[in-house]
Structures are given as structure tokens and as C-alpha cells.
Chains A and B, each alone.
Chain A
Amino acid sequence: MGFLFHIGRYFLLMKRAFSKPEKLKVYVKQFFFEVDNIGVSSLGIITIISFFMGGVITIQAAYSLTSPLIPLYAVGFTTRESMILEFSPTIISLILAGKVGGNIASEIGSMRISEQIDALEIMGVNSASFLILPKVLAGIFINPFLIAISMFLGIFGGYVMGVATGACTSYEYIFGIQAFFVPWKLTYAFLKTAIFGGIITSVAAYHGYYTQGGALEVGKSSTKAVVYGSILILVANFLITQIFFVQ
């Protein structure tokens, strides 16, 4: 029953959050602030993780594909497919669920326990809309850009490390990343990425918004935001993949 209670309360909160803003100008400003807060501040960690993971995938692929029947350009192909289909959209989103989700839950949770949300309500502001709507929209908007950067850096990292370690040649790798390219896979990747952006921000905001108690509960809300956000990303990933690939 607790599970159903949370689902119901989550959708009611989202209904309040997606109601008409009191003043569009203030919300637009807040949206761009959140784009910077969620997106630009996550670039560092995404750059490092994507570059090295691309490199590792390339090296592992090169040393796993030992059969003479498999051409070496398969290394580039494997790196591209891994980065575009799973690593960048899903794993980076899981990392963002930790970084961004934890941050949002603790920020809103702290506002709740220090009565800042009550202060918004007393002023006549729809606190759910003011605090959650810009974050969710920013998450949906900026996540595909972050993932596109991650895809590029992962493939580039694979090239640099593959060539530097002698796992493959430059020609083979570049040929591999162009081979058998199916554009709709990018559509699939970006679509699920945008959905993950919405999940990360809305689930974190939900847990932060309903924080009760003190600092300990803010910590718990933050943990719940990461755990449930990650689980929902994996479930959504499964469902979207099923829809796209089983036709």
C-alpha cells in the first residue's frame, strides 16, 4: 500500500508542479539557472568518465576479439555501439542520478525543514511549481546534450587509447565507428536520455519536497532519491528498449 501511496502522491505533486506559472519571466530565469546547475556543472565528471570508459571498452574489445575471422574494425564498431546504446544514455544517467538527484533532494529537503517552502506558500507562490518545474524541464532539456557529449568523448577516448596502446590502428577504428550505422539508434538513445532526465529530477524533487524532520531526514531523502531514481531509470530503460527493439 505504501508503494501505491507514493505513486499517487508523486503524480499529484507533478500535477501541481506542471500548473500554470505565476510569472513566466521568473520561471524562465529559473530554468536557465537550473540548466547551468544541472548540466554545465556535471560536464567535468561526464568528460572524465566517458573518455576513460570509451578507452577501456576499446582495449577490452580489441583483446577479446582474437578470432582471425573477426576484422579489427569491429573494435571501433563495438565501442560506438556500446557508447551510443547503453553506456552514455544509461550509465551516465545513473551517475547523474547520484550527483544531480542527491543535490536536488537535499536542496529541496533543506528548504522544507527550514520553512522556506512554507514561506513560498505564504507569499502565494505555488512552491511545487516554482521549485520543481524548472528543474524537471531543465533535466529533460539538458540531459540529451550531456549524453551527446559523453558519446563523442567516449568514442574519441576509445580512438586515443586504442591507437596509443596499439590495440587497433587509426584507420580500422575510424572505419569501425562508421560501419553499419543505423540512425534510429540515436533517436532511441536521445529519447530515453530525455526520459531519464525527467526521472532523475522529478523523483529527487518528490523525495526532497516531502522531507519531514531534520538534517538526518534530509540525508535519508537524498539517499532515497538516488536509490529510487536509479531503479526507475533501469526499469524505464528496459521498457523503452523493449518497445524500440521488439517490433
Chain B
Amino acid sequence: MIEIKNISKSFGNHKVIDDVSFTLQPGKTNLIIGESGSGKTTILKMMVGLHHIDSGQIIYDDTIFSELNEKQMQEFRKDIGMLFQGGALFDSMTVEENIAFPLKMFTNLSDIEINERVNFCLEKVRLHDRNNLYPAELSGGMKKRASLARAISSNPKYLFCDEPNSGLDPKTSIVIDELIHELTVEFNMTTVIITHDMNSVMQIGENVMFLYQGKKWWEGDKQTILSANNKELLDFVYAADFLKKTNPNKNL
């Protein structure tokens, strides 16, 4: 379980995150949604320690992550896997080498064992026939899948995904969403997804948090989101004109 307690963050005079608290459920896909510029990525980066928080606490199970020093944070991050928006695969390495990298760096596995683990991860993301390609030779969807394989290669307890569907066609987006959900259940990870894709919310949103202008505006799940009594949320959910016509609560 990940607990976020009253965190705030400012860049200069601009307050990006304002006293936000929420809890992320273990073994579930937790979605943080919101418009562009609402502070989603900032929250994610604070949760993994890439941004420092100005105030508040980030607690992973029994560890107060936000109070760890740099060395302890580095050690703790070995339990974290992350799927970046652009994939962030290492250009100079093949898909296989990318996935093997954390294993070579932090385990004493033999080359054969590493190879087995790499093939296992590639099978999981259905990319086993692309192991010798370089990131530049992959499509957007393949890059995301390869990045996902790298993120799960070291058996993380927590998986963070930053806009996993950005730049992908709707069909590939569904494949990626299903894959993330499947892996979350199979490996019992606490998964956090940052997205503004309502398809993802309706497909895999087990715990959804809506962020608006740096504040937590609503929390619920995919069953309750469409009927929520919250103007800003519904403006976001029914952003497309044709969807507004399906809004059961037309007064909002």
C-alpha cells in the first residue's frame, strides 16, 4: 500500500500540488487522472523520488519514502518499476540488453538465468521475436511493451506508468492497458497509472483519483465515475461533445 499524506509542491511561486492525500491499493491498478497541467506527472515523480516534496509524507507500506536519504532511496527504488511516457529505453542497447540491464546490475544471476528471465519478460509482453532490435527500430507500442518488460524484469513490488497510452492508437492502447492490468494481478504489484485516457479508466480503473489544479478533486472507481456529482470531473469525463449527449446527469 502507498499512502500519500498532505503533500505539496511548488515550482518558484507556482503551487503545482496543493495538500494532496490519498491511498493506493496493493494488487490493484490505481489511476491518477486529470487534465494536462493538473500535476499528475509531478505527483508521480514525487512518489518515485525524482522530485522532492515541499511538505507532507509518502509512505510505502512501513517505509516513509520521503524521509529517506539519497542512498537509502536508491536502494529502495530497486522495488520500483516504471514505464515512462516515451519508453526511456537505452538507445545503445537492444531490447534484450535493456531488459537484462537491471538484472546484470543488481543480481548475481548467471548469464543463462538472466537470459531465461529476459525471455520470460518478453513472452509476458508478447515481444519475444523482437529481442535483438534496437529501440529506434521499434514502433511506439513495441517501445512501451519493451519498457514494461524492463520495468517488471526485477520483480518490483510497485509499478508506475506515466501516460502509458500517449501516442498510441486506440487498439494498441487497449492492449497496453490489458497488459498492465494482467501483470498487476499476476505479480500482485501496486500499480499506479497516470493518464487522461477515459478508455483506460473505464477498462482498468479499480481505484481512480481525479486531480484538478493541483488538488485532489474526487476519488472512486470506474463504476462510480460516470455518475459522480462533480462538475469538474464530469467536464473532464464528458469532454467530447458526443459523449456529453450520453451524460445521464445533464444538469451538471
Tell yes or no: A36 within 8 A of B by CB.
Answer: no
A119 to B85, CA, bound (A): 11
A22 to B85, CA, bound (A): 27
List, in ascending order, chain A residues with CB within 8 A of B75's CB. Answer: 124
A115–B74 CB distance below 8 A: no
A123–B78 CB distance below 8 A: yes
Task: Tell me the B95-138 residues at the A interface (CB within 8 Å).
Answer: 101-102, 104-106
B85–A123 CB distance below 8 A: no
A118–B106 CB distance below 8 A: no
Chain A, Cβ-Cβ closest to B45: A118
Interface code A88-127, partner B: CB below 8 Å = 1, 0 otherwise?
A: 0000000000000000000000110011101101111110
List, in ascending order, chain A residues with CB within 8 A of B85's CB. Answer: 115
Tell yes or no: B60 within 8 A of A by CB.
Answer: no
A118–B105 CB distance below 8 A: no
A125 to B160, CA, bound (A): 17
Consensus secondary structure, chain B interface: mixed
Report the number of A-B residue pairs with Cβ-Cβ less than 8 Å: 60
Tell yes or no: B236 within 8 A of A by CB.
Answer: no
Tell yes or no: B84 within 8 A of A by CB.
Answer: yes
A121 to B106, CA, bound (A): 13
A123–B86 CB distance below 8 A: no
A30 to B198, CA, bound (A): 43
Number of interface residues, chain B, beta carbon within 8 A: 25
A26-B104, A123-B102 given as contacts; is B88 within 8 A of A118 (CB)? yes
Q: Which of these, A23, A26, A116, A118, contacts B50 with CB under 8 Å?
A: A118
List, in ascending order, chain A residues with CB within 8 A of B49's CB. Answer: 121
List, in ascending order, chain A residues with CB within 8 A of B104's CB. Answer: 23, 26
List, in ascending order, chain A residues with CB within 8 A of B74's CB. Answer: 121, 124-126
Tell me, rounded to whole Å, the shortest Cβ–Cβ distance linking A3 to chain B: 22
Consensus secondary structure, chain A interface: helix
A23-B105, A26-B105 given as contacts; is B86 within 8 A of A122 (CB)? no
Interface code B63-101, partner A: CB below 8 Å = 1, 0 otherwise?
A: 000000000001111101110111011110000000001
A122 to B104, CA, bound (A): 15
List, in ascending order, chain B residues with CB within 8 A of A119's CB. Answer: 82, 84, 88-90
A119 to B86, CA, bound (A): 11
B106–A124 CB distance below 8 A: yes
List, in ascending order, chain A residues with CB within 8 A of B88's CB. Answer: 114-116, 118-119
B105–A121 CB distance below 8 A: no
A114–B86 CB distance below 8 A: yes
Tell me, rounded to whole Å, the shortest Cβ–Cβ distance linking A134 to chain B: 13
A22–B84 CB distance below 8 A: no
List, in ascending order, chain A residues with CB within 8 A of B77's CB. Answer: 121-124
List, in ascending order, chain A residues with CB within 8 A of B105's CB. Answer: 22-23, 26, 123-125
A122 to B102, CA, bound (A): 10
Chain B, Cβ-Cβ closest to A118: B50
Chain B, Cβ-Cβ closest to A19: B71
Most-contacted residue by chain A among B81, B105, B154 (CB, 10 A): B105
Tell yes or no: B48 within 8 A of A by CB.
Answer: yes
Task: Tell me the A121-151 residues at the B interface (CB within 8 Å).
Answer: 121-126
Tell me, rounded to whole Å, the shortest Cβ–Cβ distance linking B79 to chain A: 9
A239 to B99, CA, bound (A): 47
A116–B78 CB distance below 8 A: no
List, in ascending order, chain A residues with CB within 8 A of B89's CB. Answer: 116, 119
B86–A115 CB distance below 8 A: yes
List, in ascending order, chain A residues with CB within 8 A of B91's CB. Answer: 110-111, 114, 116
A116-B91, A124-B75 given as contacts; is B86 within 8 A of A22 (CB)? no
A125 to B102, CA, bound (A): 8
Chain B, Cβ-Cβ closest to A125: B105
Given contacts A122-B48, A123-B106, 17 further A-B contacts (CB under 8 A): A23-B104, A26-B104, A111-B90, A114-B88, A114-B91, A115-B85, A116-B90, A118-B88, A119-B82, A119-B90, A121-B77, A124-B74, A124-B75, A124-B76, A124-B78, A124-B106, A126-B74
A-B contact pairs, 30 of them (CB 8 A): A22-B105, A23-B104, A23-B106, A110-B91, A111-B90, A114-B86, A114-B88, A114-B91, A115-B85, A115-B88, A116-B88, A116-B89, A116-B91, A119-B84, A119-B88, A119-B89, A121-B49, A121-B74, A122-B50, A122-B80, A122-B81, A123-B77, A123-B105, A123-B106, A124-B75, A124-B76, A124-B102, A124-B105, A125-B74, A126-B74
3 closest A-B pairs (Cβ-Cβ)?
A: A119-B88, A115-B88, A124-B78
